[in-house]
Chain A
Amino acid sequence: MEMGRELVLGMAELARLEVAEDELDELAGQMERMSAYMEVLGSLEADREGGGEEVSEENTLREDRVHPSAAREALLKNAAGADGEMFVVPKAVD
């Protein structure tokens, strides 16, 4: 199917990605080729129930017991924006 610039920009917005103006046409062309290649699946019925995986397991449950969580310091150490107690982000709600 045709993948215009508008469609690619729409997907980029959903994926929270920036696509530079000079990348758009090439990217649209690549995605169009990829989707054309996938047209071979067009004759199949859609599977609404799952993938027929070889492995099927019951749900994994555990005892309802409290275990220690990861230490705050460990969780914060990889954050570029943190104040020692919390992750810090720009204000999202007025």
Chain B
Amino acid sequence: MEDVKRLTALQLGKALRAGELSIPEVTALALEEARCAGDNAFITLTEERAMERAEALQQRRGGAEGPLYGVPMALKDNVCTKDVPTTCASRMLENFVPSYDAAVVEQLVRAGGVSIGKTNMDEFAMGSTSETSFFGPVLNPWDRERAAGGSSGGSAAAVAGRSCWYALGSDTGGSIRLPAAHCGLTGIKPTYGTVSRRGLIAHASSLDQIGPLCKDAADCAAVLDAIRCHDPLDATSRKGAYGRLLENLTEDVRGMRIGLPVDCLGAGVDHRVREAVLAAAEVFSGLGARVEEIRFPVMEYMVPAYYILASAEASSNLARYDGVKFGRRAEEYENLSDLYRKSRSEGFGAEVKRRILLGTFVLSAGYYEAYYQKALRAKALIAEAYREAFSQCDLLLTPVAPATAPRLGEQLTDPVQMYLGDIYTVGANLAGLPALSMPCGRDGSGLPIGAQLVGPALGEQQVLNAAHAFQRATDHHREGAAQ
């Protein structure tokens, strides 16, 4: 059964359809691994529910199941699940139980997914290491003394630790791609608007997107096919033709123009990360792609613009947590304002409070123009820089992060240092573009290094094709964590 855990989601789906394995059997295997993993990847394991679902799916098999039918998976704990606690890894929502499923959950149910539980994360998706969780940090399966990346660290650890075959995360500034890179997985943030945010507990509404963390690009294609749609109940949902990414996946990248922004490979990047990304560029050249260095002169605006806009939106989104309709309510208070103040102060952790304060500041009278409106201008310049880049090339290739997984606690003492680690990922969120992280090597300690492919809007097919081609020519994505 150890070999079963090494399968990709698509390989497992095929084995289930062929009757080589049963859905209850693999679900029980997943749950046992999740129980024993010791990586704090899960906040809630839904064992009884998962086994009931597995039995029902096994009974219902008729031969026309989709590629992910019966495959055990996990959901980040900011995705609402009916009658299952959804905590956002926060004391504020410790006892919150939604009365509805998020749109992506409805779609994975239709696709035959078996959720084994809700994964740990940075509190309210604010963080890059999955250490700010009220329920304790997520441990990286590659090295338990290191962080798994964030904020979808639990989802990454669950897949990398072989507790499930794929997981959903959310990405506001890199929160799928960074844990994917630190845990040796492939993860993709889709084009803004192509995956419904209905039922995703909001961090920054103009930046948030749900996406998959998987063992390879083909699995990502299959999961995206299942979850992308136009949702009339999400006002930011984009109409389009969805559902054929896996069918159209190809490893032919001949003639593809891949831009290598030199501004992303200078000082500040660990030399082993730089070498691994340049080696990935060589692989693409060998496959017939045209790799060219390009200038991308907006890097200095990325992190400031992102943190101003994301914290501004977060301060607005988190205003709903006031102890009245849901979430933690203080037990002692003198009046309504005091109820709000005490409930919020007791419910939120330090990083969340810091970002709410920052967001309040940049939106406040006297500072709004100097910060928020200038950040909007920077966002427009960044979007324009991407459009200019994509007039010359089909994809951009960059590092995912300046370094590999940090040691636990290393990044918590200096928030600005932590924010700087997002420099390569936030741009795709600001511009609403698809961006994928894939393993491309290891550092001197054996830790995985991620390369990022960014595409133009609705360019998921070319991003996935490039990643698929890379993974057909290399083995980095097959190297699992030692445990």
Contact = CB atoms under 8 A, between A and B. Distances in A.
**How many B residues are at the interface, by size bracket?**
35 or more
A68 interface: no
A50 B358 CA distance: 20
Main secondary structure of the interface of A (DSSP, over half): loop
Contacts of A80: 323, 328-329
A46 B357 contact: no
A44 interface: yes
B307 A38 contact: yes
B459 to A, nearest CB: 11
Interface in A42-94: 42, 44-48, 50-55, 57, 59-60, 62, 70-71, 74-75, 77-81, 87, 89-92
Contacts of B95: 78
Interface in B426-444: 430-433
A56 to B, nearest CB: 10
Contact of A55 (B238, B308, B334, B371): B238
Nearest to B428: A54
A19 to B, nearest CB: 8
A80 B238 CA distance: 37
A46 B325 CA distance: 37
A92 B337 CA distance: 9
Contacts of B415: 30, 33-34
B305 A41 contact: yes
Contacts of A47: 373-374, 376-377, 379-380
B336 A92 contact: yes
A11 B361 contact: yes
Contacts of A50: 376, 380
Interface string A6-42: 0110011011111100000001001101110110111
Interface in B285-337: 300-301, 303-305, 307-309, 315, 319, 322-329, 333-337
A55 B374 contact: no
B165 interface: no
A47 to B, nearest CB: 4
B345 interface: yes
Contacts of A40: 300-301, 304
Taking each of A51, A74, A90, which has the highest tally of chain B beta carbons within 10 Å of its own beta carbon? Answer: A51
A80 B419 CA distance: 35
A44 B361 contact: no
Interface of B: 95-97, 99-100, 191-193, 206, 232, 235-239, 300-301, 303-305, 307-309, 315, 319, 322-329, 333-342, 344-345, 348, 353-354, 356-358, 360-361, 364, 369-371, 373-381, 383-384, 386-387, 415-416, 419, 430-433, 457
15 contacts: A15-B360, A16-B341, A17-B348, A27-B354, A30-B416, A34-B415, A35-B371, A38-B308, A41-B371, A46-B370, A51-B430, A52-B381, A52-B384, A79-B325, A90-B336
Given A38-B375, A91-B336, 12 more contacts: A11-B360, A19-B353, A31-B358, A31-B361, A44-B301, A50-B376, A54-B431, A57-B236, A60-B237, A78-B327, A80-B329, A90-B338
What 6 A-B pairs are tightest by C-beta distance, nearest first?
A52-B380, A46-B373, A80-B329, A47-B377, A47-B376, A74-B99
